Structure 1
């Protein structure tokens, strides 16, 4: 009782501190319980903004599943299939905002390439090649495009050494649960332990997500044959469901344009204050027209690697502060809620179906196949998906998860399909813990109930529902 009282007092003190911060920065005027024009859109799900948390406790370092904290669905339950979606590890900024500190966190991270045709093994006849990215700002005296690149060995958006270790830690955690538990007892329905051949791996076509998938899988299966090729499936960005983007879907673009229009909740709670805050940062750093998204990228990367806050070039006492960073994180959480909330209006349900529906349909199709067969050859047991913060966020918002914090580096969602007696059950873990959500109890959600909840978000014909889009369109 004493422990609970102390925790409650600590939580209350923390809440008061956060409210004081929000009041001092004007954030109390930005939340959904403030008055604003809604244009008839009412979100019936809980969209209370995510709490402001210490970056290093959540964003910079996500928790992992582990043998010590994991427990089976029940003593007699057995696994049929597991899907693990994860964000890449810690990285360098995607773009430079002068003045940028030296980024020397990426040395020793190389990629070995082995040329091989589909019908013959050439591993003994040709050399292996190593891919190493060269940063034009490293050791060069020329000013590349007005400081586009920083000094150091990190390429834009590249996985850092810290990011590598995060993915290895996640891989070891998954190994201790699903592959080789220390007690030697397999959780799988046939009693066998999976090997690298039982895994299907997907990644977005981004170097840091591909490398994250490689480091995770190598830690998850440390005894795999180094000469045996492991396939990582990569799809064109226009049709890659892991990107959960608007690319290739004109109908989704049309919906989101309407939901983000002038006078909408998105405009009031995110777009307008984001523009205002970005202008403040421009003034502090003597910059011009830099959107808040770029400041968010730079500040999070700096924070997680203990880099100094940026200051005005001619006045080092005028700097971006910790309060500014918390303000940015709170606005970012607002952005994610209005971008991915899946309920409240027909338009939002349709947007979720078009954006996340294709990935959800793939997931359910594979889980459905596992309910009809337990053969290792008929379907992979483990599916690994290497994506981004938006991948994880979109999935959690589709499930109406209670945790609305921005998914941190190495954030992970495990979707488990269990056989327990005559029933099949779904359990979903976020960073190793059961997801608390409005849609179902994901500590033990019945398979039929899960299917029923997912129905409104499953596209019947995604091409027809989206319409056509020129293949030449790419991300900005």
Structure 2
């Protein structure tokens, strides 16, 4: 049986999550899932698969089912699960600025080249998200960069892939950090989910929650706005298996909250 490298990465991340807490002798993760741990994924099969890999690593000796909570796809607060005309209108405005148009102008030769190689439509070349996602997925899974179907010798070069990644990093930093409407855009895209996280932390602070470990399996499109809301100085496109860890604990009467990416 072969296991894709991306899935293997998630399988290895589970024991890391377990050891990272146990090594501090906190005993947060039990041997089997119970009412003190809580897991959620988006309605996407992709994140459900990621969750399966991580949970197998967190609970290596557990053989029964593990509850994985989801919201209905039409109202999911992650992965843009709900429709929002204000969000779409604001994105259109963000991608009509002088800065964005300059970005399109500078990257025009690369976008034209990739469009010709793969017969890509405008929806694929309006941003570098699709190309960056595809190229990174291939490289992370040990595959070669793609070649043109009509000519197997006409392939994406490492230099071109790096250009795509740099352009993608700029786009993500612009969406969630540097554009004038970044705060409002974060609120429209991720505000509901961020509110859910805040309420969970408040419940712990107020002694109203028995949860000691909560894990949400979401998407790069969720990681980006959360990092923007947390005030990251420079945001790169979140790679596969990116994680944000938020901790809350007491030392005496003092409450501490920290996060790391």
8 Å CA contact 1:203, 1:213 repeated in 2: yes
Partner of 2:226: 395
Q: Following the alignment from structure 1 to structure 2, what is the Cα–Cα distance between the partners of residues 340 and 247?
A: 19
Contact 2:37 2:211 in 1 (8 A): yes
What is the SS of the residue equivalent to 1:337? helix
Q: Which has the larger radius of gyration?
A: 1
How far apart in 2 are the matches of 1:169 and 1:403? 28
Equivalent residue in structure 1 for 2:26, among 180, 183, 186: 186
Q: Deviations over 1:353-397 (max 9, x none)?
A: 1212111111111111111217xxx43211111112222222112
CA contact (8 A) 2:173 2:236 kept: no
Kept after mapping to 2: 8 A contact 1:393/1:407: yes
Structure 2 portions without partners, runs of 5+: none
Aligned 8 A contact 1:194 1:381 in 2: no
Give the match for residue 92 of structure 2.
Answer: 257
CA contact (8 A) 1:246 1:252 kept: no
Query: Where does residue 194 of structure 2 map in the other structure?
Result: 360
RMSD: 2.7
Once the two structures are TM-superposed, the CA of residue 203 in structure 1 deviates from its matched residue by 0.5
Q: What displacement does 1:238 show?
A: 3.4
User: Is 209-218 or 302-311 further displaced after alignment?
Assistant: 302-311
> Aligned residue for 1:166?
9
Residues 87 and 185, structure 2, Cα contact 8 Å, conserved in 1: yes
Cross-structure match for 1:335 = 171
CA drift of 1:267 comes to: 2.8
In structure 2, what is the equivalent of residue 415 of structure 1? 246
Partner of 1:208: 46
Please show how residues 313-328 of structure 1 align to structure 2 within 5 Å. 313=149, 317-328=153-164
Greater fraction helix: 2
Contact 2:175 2:182 in 1 (8 A): no
- Counterpart selection for 2:114 from 261, 264, 281: 281
**Aligned in 2, Cα 1:195/1:364: closer, same or farther, shift over 3 Å?**
farther
Number of residue pairs matched by the alignment: 256
For structure 1, list consecutive stretches of 5 or more residues without a partner in the other structure.
1-106, 109-159, 431-476
